[in-house]
Amino acid sequence: MDLQFSAADLAFAAEVRDWLAEHLAGPFAVLRGKGGSQNEEFFELRLDWERELHAGGWTVLGWPAEYGGRPATIAQRVLFEYEYARAGAPYRAGFQGTNLLGPTLIAHGTPEQKQRFLPRILSGADIWCQGFSEPGAGSDLASVQTKAVPDGGEWVIDGQKVWTSHAHQADWIYMLARTEPATARHRGLSVLLVPMGQPGVEVRPIRNLAGSEGFNEVFFSSARTDRSLVVGGAGQGWPVAMSTLEAERGIAMLGYQTQFESEFAAMLEIAHHRGGTADPVLRHRLADSFAELNVLRYNVLRTLTGIMRRGQAGPETSLLKLAPGPRRDRHGSDGRCFPDRRKGLRAGPGPAHLPAQPGRDDLRRSAPDPPEHRGREAARAAPRSPGRREARLRLTLLSCRYPCSRLACSRSDRRSTLPRAPRGNSPTTCQRVGTLKPASSCRV
């Protein structure tokens, strides 16, 4: 990892920093810290911010000047992403267009497609979403079943997409569909540009436990689009989609590290404020997130070195998409999953009151609690709601340190202080509580 920026690059970073400090003020000051692809706040104001970026010449760094872009080196594009994240600037409302579809159209689109769509992407007039994943085609994207059949001068589309970010806000969707029914897997796929505002397109939001609706299901029932709106030609959808995913996992992902660092700092402050750090389990969860954040940092540095040497992203960028920092399913950046120990209540509305369910990787405890935290044994005796008791029981049972995955302890008072069994053994007795029972009889 040998990162060296020239004097011109550092001057460019200073220019970005100064511009953001000047313009993230006034009506846009409220947008600071509104990062994250699932953030639904201030969408209209974020559209105005997109236009402000366009006016300042920051929307599409690295695009060819003939398409309205601003020439920039790889190093400068990376520095912009870092400075943007460090300033707490909001998640880009036009990200799908400027960072994903735009480069795809420049590489594979027809002159008519570029002339029609690129200026509107630049100005923020059109908001796009991506329609790749399906219920039966997620990681195995070649299993796409959504079909598009030619009908005169149009394509008629039937099928379903899922986990589509911002579909409820988008004007258009670029989607992967099977246009040659007799083919299978990677052959016979095409990338189509489809207008969302038509009777044959239905969007159903997917609400998560935190109440957000950033993801959606999209249903196509005889939806239509013009026959000319195929990117890269009919049947060439796989290489086109792969170039889009390369852009998604490239430079634009690198700024996420700084964003995650800011979110973690805010989360840690919330935990301190609510007294959550007195809980050793939560402390271990925070420590795990801190370790993952540092792993991400070194992966980012390694990826950045490769991009600067080769001039383009490589396959290692998939690691950034696979494990993007401290997992938000453990605790949101707003701290809604942290118990407020000052009041004995969970903070946050609606589903945030549900009990947290710790996973196996959150329970790596190898030593008893320190003396200052042993008072929680008495707290366990206090009456608790069934949800909290269930979570506590799960915590106790999953703290078993035996490596055997086929047997589980039937006693709820077992602790993680038991000695580890010899490697390769399947113990049938517990040194503290006696006989172990098969996992099928476990109460968890």
pLDDT tens, per residue, the chain with 444 residues = 556 788 999 999 999 999 999 999 999 999 987 755 556 678 889 999 999 999 999 999 989 989 988 888 888 888 898 899 888 888 888 989 998 999 999 999 999 999 999 999 998 899 999 999 999 888 788 899 999 999 999 999 999 999 998 899 999 999 999 999 888 788 899 999 999 999 999 999 998 887 777 789 999 999 999 999 999 999 999 999 988 887 666 666 666 677 777 778 888 888 888 888 888 888 888 898 888 888 887 877 777 777 777 766 666 666 666 655 445 545 444 444 455 544 433 333 333 332 333 333 333 333 444 554 444 444 444 444 445 444 443 443 344 444 333 333 433 333 333 344 444 444 444 444 444 444 343 433
Name residue, tokens 């219920």. 135
Contact 283, 256 (CB under 8 A): no
Is 243 found in the same domain as 256?
no
Is 266 found in the same domain as 200?
no
Is 237 found in the same domain as 141?
yes
Among 196, 414, 212, which Cα is nearest to 328's? Answer: 212
Q: List the domain range (segments joined by +) for residue 411.
A: 389-400+407-415+429-444
Strand partners, 217: 204
Domain boundary among 248, 281, 298: 248
CATH number of the domain bearing residue 140: 2.40.110.10
Annotated catalytic residue: which of 50, 134, 246, 248?
A: 248
Is 244 found in the same domain as 135?
yes
Is 273 found in the same domain as 232?
no
Is 188 found in the same domain as 281?
no
d(C-alpha 172, C-alpha 203), whole Å: 12
Residue 179 placed within a domain: yes
d(C-alpha 193, C-alpha 173), whole Å: 6
Is 132 found in the same domain as 243?
yes
d(C-alpha 81, C-alpha 92), whole Å: 11
Is 241 found in the same domain as 136?
yes
Residue 98 placed within a domain: no
Is 195 found in the same domain as 145?
yes
Is 263 found in the same domain as 244?
no
Among 354, 444, 340, 332, which Cα is nearest to 399's? Answer: 444
Catalytic residue at 15? Answer: no
Residue 118 placed within a domain: no
Residue 442 placed within a domain: yes
d(C-alpha 191, C-alpha 172), whole Å: 13
| The pLDDT value given to residue 45 | 92
Is 336 found in the same domain as 270?
yes
Residue 270 placed within a domain: yes
CATH number of the domain bearing residue 85: 1.10.540
SS3 at position 54: helix
Domain boundary among 36, 68, 93: 93
SS3 at position 224: strand
Q: What is the pTM of this model?
A: 0.68
| The pLDDT value given to residue 427 | 42
d(C-alpha 284, C-alpha 265), whole Å: 16
Domain boundary among 227, 248, 269: 248
In sequence order, what are the residues at sequence separation of 6 or more whose Cβ sits closer than 8 angstroms to the Cβ of residue 309? none
| The pLDDT value given to residue 392 | 43
Residue 17 placed within a domain: yes
| The pLDDT value given to residue 185 | 83
Give the number of domains in the chain. Answer: 4
Residue 282 placed within a domain: yes
Among 64, 78, 63, 68, which Cα is nearest to 9's? Answer: 78
Is 268 found in the same domain as 235?
no
